[in-house]
Structure 1
Amino acid sequence: MSIVTRQGDEGLTSLMYGVRVPKDHPRVEAYGAVDELNAALGWARAQGAPPWLQDALLHVQRDLIVLMGELATDPAHRARFEADGFSALGPGHVGWLEEEVRLAEGCLPPARGWALPGADPVSAALEFSRTVCRRAERRVCALRGATGAVSGTVLVYLNRLSDLLWLWARCVERGITPRPAASGNGAQ
């Protein structure tokens, strides 16, 4: 079976459950930006991130897959999405990020001034991921403005994640491990 379907040749794409929309629809822009963020985090892992960060980034990438499914579903199909066993981001996802922020902040001196990305490949990749995360946050805000159909948890999640990526970059630059590798995958 080929990946080439030709169904997008006219500038349309399908959301979950077959709803066809233009490729520049705010919903597609939102989940596309989250997809870019997921790829950027994979790139950060591939740069030789330390084991604690490898585990944490994988955890976030799995959360982003959940988020992409949520964003790729038209609100009219939300009940079907849930009935099919798909989940959405919830307070536990945000709570995990907030705990990671707390741990990282506890290891770092107070922030002063701006960070200059590029101290090493991993921290630079984290900084790049942070900027992609901020873009995803803006696209989700635009989707909410256009449709009103976005969970507030999504925006909180992306906002916390961008803060955490900044903190993790600072930890990597300083060779700090903010949490033990044995802390698990943080499954919800």
Structure 2
Amino acid sequence: MTSIWLRILPYIAVALLVAGALFGTYYHGVTLTDARWQAEWNARDSRDAQAKASNEVAERTKERAYQQSINKAVQDDQRLIDQAIADTSTARASANSLRGAAGARAARLAASEASGNSCAVAASKAASHAAMVLADVLKCTDQRAGDLAEAADQARARGVTCEQSYLSLEVNQHADSD
């Protein structure tokens, strides 16, 4: 029985050596393949990180441009509002002088009705009453028109700002889709 083992033992040893060599070759191939794939994944991860960084920079640039256009629209809006307020102040000053002139005219008519003959007094009284009513109507109308003009000017300025903001947003979205 020992002689059979002694005869088979070299074959078993050769078989084990061949199996070990095959396993070593297989393991070496797997290791090389894994290393190659790992290198490709690392390169891909590096490209992805670079792409992400460049995309973030591009998006930040777009965002800054959009914010600058919004800020410019707001500044333009504030200039329009300031101009409207200045125009309103000028118009109110003009209206006040006009109302003052109408009031002075009504006061002169009232003063002239106090002196003179009775026929002229009656006609003057009617004319001065009409002038005072007209002065009051002019005063109220002018004041209301000034208030409405101020509100309309500010609403227009805000509308222009909103429109500019929308258009800049639309342009930015259109640029993003291209």
TM norm structure 1: 0.23
Between Structure 1 and Structure 2, which shows a larger proportion of helix residues? 2
TM norm structure 2: 0.25
**Larger Rg, first or second structure (1 or 2):** 2
